[in-house]
Structure 1
Amino acid sequence: MKRINIFVTLFLFTSLNIGAIEVLEVKILNSYSLSKQFPGKLLPIEQSKLAFEIPGKIKIINVDVGDEVQEGQILAKLDDREAQARLNQVKASFDLAKQVFNRFQDLRQQGHISVQELDKAQSDLTIAESEYEFYKVKLEQTNLISPYSGIIQNRFLDSGTVINQGVPILEIVDSNYVEAHISVPIIYLNDMKIGAEYNFQVDGKDINAIFSRLAPMSPGGSDSRLAIFKFTEFISPGSIAKLNLKINKKSRGTWVPLRSLSQSDQGLWALYTIDEKNTVIRDLVEIVYFENEYAFVKGTIQDGDLIVLGGAAKIIPGKKIN
């Protein structure tokens, strides 16, 4: 909180013999800074449960919880003997179909076979090639591949387990970036800028993040919106991140200690000032914002006024201070 107030202690004595009075010399400001802290949760930008696309028996799992992996890395394998044997079989059929088609082309050019026979050989070649490509994919599907670079978050099964397709084997989270999802009251969002950098406290450390976007809608009946911040360094997902929001608001007034204020009527507050004739004056002010032991107020006070801080309970407006 930035304050330009000047504190002075004056040992002034009233005719009522109340002793020393502490006063504050006012400096009127055109704005004030407010500080707010909003907690939220750190979430990975990408988080996936990985499964094989075909059923089978797990041959090996190459990674465990906490391991860092790279995009394209083989994380686990199924027993591929059956898939390999089937691929070898259709590869032989494909090679034979190519040989037959090439021979039939020569025979057709020599006029020894009909067009229909050549067309049949070409159709057989196309079918054999399709089967070969199909079983190539099936063999590739016995490998579980990392879709992106990340960290293994969970391992659900072990080697030797017989599984159906789609059963999760591992869970991976993106190791490059995390996001903080923070619920921010709408009244503060107008003072925030998408693309700007904001300070967070995570596990006792100060870390900056970029305000990337707002969720499209507020939760039902809520006066807050979900603000999403992107961190450019990896932090463990699940940690609590606290947004340290500092906003400058335009308003003419000054900071005063809360102890200098007393409640008045119609939502206003009273404080006591001493004018140039050393007379105690009662002024009314409105609290714009308060933080800790101080309030930013606006009202009838002026630059250079001396606000009474202590002994206000014994002061009588209109009395002179000697």
Structure 2
Amino acid sequence: MRNSLTKVIPLSIAIAASAGFFFTADHNSYAEPAVQENVNYQWISLAPELVSQTSHSKFTGRILSQHVRVLSLPADGILTLANMKSGQVVEAGSIIAKLESSLEQAQVDKAQAELTLKQADYKAKQTLKKKRVSSELQVLQAHRDLKLAESNLTLAKRQLTERQLVAPYKGIIQTTYASEGDYIAKQERLAEVHSLEEVSIELPIANSMINTINLQDAIQVEVDSQTVGARFSHWKPVSSQKFSKIAVLKFTEEFDPFWLGMPVKVQITNQNKSKYLHLGVSSNSVLPGKVANLRFPDLPDKQGVFPYIKTKDGWLIKWNEAVGIPKSVEVQVIPSAEGGN
């Protein structure tokens, strides 16, 4: 993880609190460093700038479909149509393969013709009944014949449909297992289709990182030399000693179907809610060393112990905005020539 500031202020060392350097805004209660003899302390007056700290965490993940199906047919026969190739995008409901079905098509045509006749006969019997030419029994028989014809057509269509392979959703064909002219047995696999309607990025998060990131902040995904946005969806459990959980992300922008299965680099940018006073020195000045004391001329009542962070051009002090922003800060330091870093 690397840290930066909204004002692009690089950090060069860890928080000085770990080394024991603390100070307060109260003249009589600051934590003094160890007394050093023959050290020339000096005061520097600086104009503070309120800044925010950000962190960028980078991870490696993979783009995966949440729905994968291996397609097959409940019938057997010769494959006469194989409109399927690896990498091909298919629309939901499109026919991607067919078995030889001339007999089934003929049965559908016959059942359709029979239904048309029965519909006409039933309508005629109803008309004759009104004229008292047909009996109620004849009308009922014509109605039963009509329903039987409808059932026969439904059956014939289902038998024809069972010889056609249809895409269950918009997806991309990853693998094919048969070609035109092949004999296909019942339930023999024909193609593997990955859904493009439910695509996500799976991001394994190491145990050591699980509490250091906020997945509600900005997420950028780099894939195939392009950068697109994403959002956190949910956590997915994983049984691994190395990884604690898998973060499932969703694209917030249009993505290329051919990215499916590709590895990606993910950057999570977290905006730290903490604010800092940046005390910067002139680029022509020699950066001072250790901080010995602070004075806040326009905030005499301000009290509190603050760790500081050394930067390339000054210091950062964690700050509460509610107490106000000082116009100036007087820093008492041990010069770098004597006090070091």
Category of TM-score, reference length = shorter chain = 0.5 to 0.7
Superposed, 1:79-228 pairs within 5 Å as 79-159=100-180, 160-165=182-187, 167-174=188-195, 178-184=199-205, 185-188=209-212, 190=214, 192-193=216-217, 197-203=218-224, 205-215=225-235, 218-219=237-238, 224=245, 226-228=247-249
Distance in 2 separating the partners of 1:156 and 1:287: 64
What is residue 239 of structure 1 aligned with on the other side? 262
Contact 1:38 1:244 in 2 (8 A): yes
State the 1:237 CA deviation: 1.6
What is residue 21 of structure 1 aligned with on the other side? none
State the 1:65 CA deviation: 1.2
Distance in 2 separating the partners of 1:72 and 1:153: 18
Distance in 2 separating the partners of 1:212 and 1:191: 6
Contact 1:68 1:151 in 2 (8 A): yes
Count of matched residue positions in the alignment of Structure 1 and Structure 2? 270
Unaligned runs of 5+ in 2: 13-36, 39-45, 280-288, 295-304, 320-328
Q: Residues 27 and 4 of structure 1: is their aligned pair in 2 closer, same or farther, counting only changes over 3 Å?
A: farther
2:97 counterpart (73, 76, 83): 76
| CA deviation string 1:177-199 (max 9, x = no partner) | 84212245553455724xxx521
| CA deviation string 1:134-177 (max 9, x = no partner) | 31233244332334444321102223222214x43122334578
Distance in 1 separating the partners of 2:169 and 2:59: 31
Code of the residue aligned with 1:73 in structure 2: it is S
Identity %: 19
| CA deviation string 1:72-95 (max 9, x = no partner) | 432111111121122233234324
Q: Residues 91 and 153 of structure 1: is their aligned pair in 2 closer, same or farther, counting only changes over 3 Å?
A: same
Contact 1:199 1:243 in 2 (8 A): yes
What is residue 22 of structure 1 aligned with on the other side? none
1:248 is the counterpart of 2:260: no
What is residue 18 of structure 2 aligned with on the other side? none
Q: State the secondary structure of the residue aligned to 1:187.
A: coil
TM-score, normalization by structure 2: 0.60
Contact 1:275 1:306 in 2 (8 A): yes
Unaligned runs of 5+ in 1: 8-14, 17-24, 256-270, 277-283, 316-322
TM-score, normalization by structure 1: 0.63
Pairwise CA RMSD of aligned residues? 4.7
State the 1:226 CA deviation: 1.9
Q: Residues 189 and 273 of structure 1: is their aligned pair in 2 closer, same or farther, counting only changes over 3 Å?
A: closer
Q: RCO (CA 8 Å, sep 6+): is it higher in 1 or 2?
A: 2
Superposed, 1:278-317 pairs within 5 Å as 304=331, 306=333
